[in-house]
Amino acid sequence: KNQVEQSPQSLIILEGKNCTLQCNYTVSPFSNLRWYKQDTGRGPVSLTIMTFSENTKSNGRYTATLDADTKQSSLHITASQLSDSASYICVVSEYNSGGGADGLTFGKGTHLIIQP
Amino acid sequence: DTAVSQTPKYLVTQMGNDKSIKCEQNLGHDTMYWYKQDSKKFLKIMFSYNNKELIINETVPNRFSPKSPDKAHLNLHINSLELGDSAVYFCASSQILGENTIYFGEGSWLTVV
């Protein structure tokens, strides 16, 4: 059964500090991995999409890494800001699934709180 | 301009009622989805709709039914609402099925009392 596990479940850090969120998956065959940011009371917004051949991808202060061999991804946030407080969701897509209802496996998210 | 918009944002209703949530996307995407996010913030796919093909998550009760009048709209109808249906429902869309960035709406908070 395809699974996506995220850690930690919750994280509190001080403004300006860096942090790293983890995502481990068992989805196979793998197509791509996405990180979403979900602000409280809002819908998820895509941060990055990484395919099998990509090891690192950056989006501003967000840097995602992917190790397809160990089936692990991380999202590193540099110089955190109060606006980074949100849930971060890892989503893994199964290759040639036809997409749709069973093509994506969602993690439960990491709830990040940035304190001033 | 809002890419994926859904209404209402908040809905409180009694058990047994029938309700609908509307969704529209102006991105020209071919595929639309409905997701449910429970109290533990876990997002779960309910339906995807692409070129008149409906793919249903088998765990979704048949009280839930999507209706697509055209490519830009995918409404969610819920019959005989139950307490356990209380959740946030997100509409979403993507250019093609499954492989591209999925754009989410702002969510509809449904509370069944």
pLDDT digits (tens, 9 = 90+) for B47-65: 888 877 888 777 899 999 9
The shortest C-alpha distance from B81 to chain A (Å) reads: 22
The shortest C-alpha distance from B78 to chain A (Å) reads: 18
Looking from the CA of A85 toward its CB, the CA atoms found within 13 Å total 12
Report the pLDDT value the prediction gives residue A12, as an integer from 0 to 100: 96
Residue in chain A nearest B36 by alpha carbon: A43
Count of CB contacts below 8 A, A vs B? 71
Q: Does residue A101 register a pLDDT over 50?
A: no
Q: Does residue A57 register a pLDDT over 70?
A: yes
Q: Does residue A1 register a pLDDT over 90?
A: no
Over residues B97-110, the mean pLDDT reads 84
Residue in chain B nearest A37 by alpha carbon: B104
pLDDT band at A113 (very low <50, low <70, confident <90, very high): very high
Report the pLDDT value the prediction gives residue A102, as an integer from 0 to 100: 54
Q: Does residue B1 register a pLDDT over 80?
A: no
Share of chain A above pLDDT 90, in %: 76
Which contiguous run of DSSP H or E holds residue A45?
Answer: strand A45-51
Please write the tens of the pLDDT for every residue from B3-51. Answer: 999 999 999 999 999 999 999 999 999 889 999 998 877 888 898 888 7
Q: What is the spatial distance between Cα A31 and Cα A95, in angstroms, rounded to a whole number?
A: 4
Please write the tens of the pLDDT for every residue from A2-43. Answer: 899 999 999 999 999 999 999 999 988 888 899 999 999 899
Report the pLDDT value the prediction gives residue A98, as an integer from 0 to 100: 55
Q: State the residue for tokens 């209802």.
A: A101
The C-alpha angle with vertex B75 and arms to B45 and B54, in degrees rounded to 5, equals 55
Report the pLDDT value the prediction gives residue B98, as an integer from 0 to 100: 60
The pairing of strands A86-94 and A110-115 is: antiparallel
For residue B8, is the peptide bond before it cis, meaning its omega torsion is within 30 degrees of 0?
yes
Residue A83 phi/psi, 5° resolution? -70, -10
Least-confidence region, from B14-18, B49-53, B69-73, B78-82 = B49-53
Q: What is the spatial distance between Cα A37 and Cα A46, in angstroms, rounded to a whole number?
A: 6
pLDDT band at B95 (very low <50, low <70, confident <90, very high): confident
In one-letter notation, the amino acid at residue A29 is P
Mutation target vs B (from A94, A104, A110; most B CBs, 10 A cutoff): A104
B31-61: burial string, b at 16+ Cβ within 10 Å, e else? bbbbbbbeeeeebebbbbbbeeeebbbeebe
Q: What is the spatial distance between Cα B70 and Cα B60, in angstroms, rounded to a whole number?
A: 23
